Amino acid sequence: MTETKPATDHLTETAAPATGALAIEELPSPNCDDRPAGQKIDILVLHYTGMPDAGQALRRLKDPQSKVSAHYVVDEEGRIYRMVPEEKRAWHAGISAWKGERDINARSIGIEIVNTGHEFGYRPFQLRQMDALVALCKDIKTRHDIPPERVLGHSDVAPLRKQDPGELFDWYRLFVEGIANWPTPKVVQWSDEQFFQALAAYGYDLTGPAKANIDPQQARRAACVAFCRHFRPAVLRPVPDPEMKAILAGLVDNTPAQS
Residue 165 preceded by cis peptide, ω within 30:
yes
CA distance 45 to 99: 14
Instruction: Give yes or no: 77 in active site.
Output: no
Q: 3-class SS at 175?
A: helix
The one catalytic residue among 87, 101, 112, 149: 112
DSSP class per residue in 36-67: PTT----EEEEEE--SSSHHHHHHHHH-TTT-
Residue 219 is which amino acid?
A
- For the purposes of burial, counting CB atoms within 10 Å of the CB of 18, is it exposed (0-12), middle (13-18) or buried (19 or more)? exposed
* Radius of gyration of the chain measured on its C-alpha atoms: 18
DSSP class per residue in 192-250: HHHHHHHHHHHT--SS--GGG---HHHHHHHHHHHHHHHH-TTS--SS--HHHHHHHHH
CA distance 51 to 228: 23
- For the purposes of burial, counting CB atoms within 10 Å of the CB of 249, is it exposed (0-12), middle (13-18) or buried (19 or more)? buried
What dihedral angle (degrees, nearest 10) is formed by the CA atoms of 179, 180, 184, 186?
Answer: 150
Catalytic residues: 112
